[in-house]
Amino acid sequence: MKLIIANWKMYPTLSDSLVLAPSLRSSLAEVKGVEVVIAPPLAWLVSVVESWRGSVPHISFAAQNVWPEDQGAFTGESSAYLLKNMVKYALVGHSERRHLQEESNDLVNEKLMSCLRWQIRPILCVGEEKKIFNSQGQSDDKQLDNLTKQLSDGLYGVKEEDMDRVVIAYEPVWAIGTSNPATGEYAARVIAVLRDQVAKKYSRATAGKARFLYGGSVSPSNTDQFLREEGVDGLLVGSVSVKSRDFVSICRAAAQYR
């Protein structure tokens, strides 16, 4: 079953969110064979969750970020401990936070471990600044090393038995919010490298069961290009996810890949 995550980022207002959420609930409740996760802005998370009115088994919520400490003098932050009863998932290490808030690999790892401690499934985001593989098939070793280090540092201390709760989202920075997404073939090639890293750290069996997503300018027009690739287990959708019709179209397409 494919996993599709709607990262609403900081786009919708409260009124927008309270219109968008029931629209998605109505449209996606009967779309079987796909798992959908919605990540509203933190300011609206409680309102959206409370407005949901009953569970839909294949739809859940995610936090866009968490702070690694459980409680304390951390103005403006929310921890996995505080969010544990509202969300099933949480994004950690999103490229925008790595860039704008200068979050280090160590901090991302602390957030991931906090999520696991409070039974929230972390979505570990990793991605390179520039293309790793060019059109001639040659690789940029510096970009590749930075990417694999994000993964290895992010998973530091994670036990093999906990890997079934960790999702890894590959989001090339150069493709996010642009008209130049990666191709399905490129994404699958990089994800294969990342999966090999997991196999080396744990086992081939664990790597085979790990869920890897692609994120970066995903749209209804390129959804199939990614999901038909072996090893791509779902999508992390950004700005398009606040457009109900487009996001539902992506989820319907994903439901065909059971």
User: Which DSSP string corresponds to 42-103?
Assistant: HHHHHHHHHHH-S-BTTEEEEES--BSSSSSS-TT--BHHHHTTT-SEEEES-HHHHHHS--
Distance separating alpha carbons of residues 258 and 246, to the nearest angstrom: 20
Q: How many CB atoms lie within 10 A of CB 46?
A: 12
Q: Look at 7-11, 175-179, 223-227 and tell me which has the smallest mean pLDDT.
A: 175-179
Query: What is the model's pLDDT at position 53?
Result: 80
Instruction: Report pLDDT for 180.
Output: 83
Band (1; pLDDT cuts 50, 70, 90):
very high
Q: Residue 251 — pLDDT band, cuts 50, 70, 90? A: very high
pLDDT at residue number 118: 98
Q: How confident is the model at residue 55 (pLDDT cuts 50, 70, 90)?
A: confident
- Would you say residue 239 has pLDDT above 90? yes
Position 150 scores a pLDDT of 98
Pair of tokens at residue 188: 């699958």
Q: Which distant-in-sequence residues (6+ apart) come within 8 Å of 192 by Cβ?
A: 231
User: Six-digit token pair at 177?
Assistant: 């919010």
Write down the pLDDT at residue 178: 82
User: Mean pLDDT throughout 24-50?
Assistant: 96
Reported as a pLDDT band with limits 50, 70 and 90, residue 258 is confident
For the chain, which domains are there? 2-255 (3.20.20.70)
**In the chain, what are the helix, strand and coil shares in percent, each to the nearest 5?**
45, 15, 35
**Count of C-beta atoms within a 10 Å radius of residue 47:** 14
What tens digit of pLDDT does each residue of 177-215 get? 887 889 999 999 999 999 999 999 999 999 999 999 999
> Which residue numbers are catalytic?
94, 171
CA distance 90 to 101: 17
pLDDT band, very low/low/confident/very high, at 83 (cuts 50, 70, 90): very high
* Amino acid sitting at position 238: G
Q: What is the mean pLDDT of the chain?
A: 96
The percentage of the chain sitting over the pLDDT mark of 90, rounded to a whole number, equals: 93
What would the mean pLDDT of 127-156 be, rounded to a whole number? 91
What's the average model confidence in pLDDT over 109-120?
98
33 pLDDT band, cuts 50/70/90, is very high
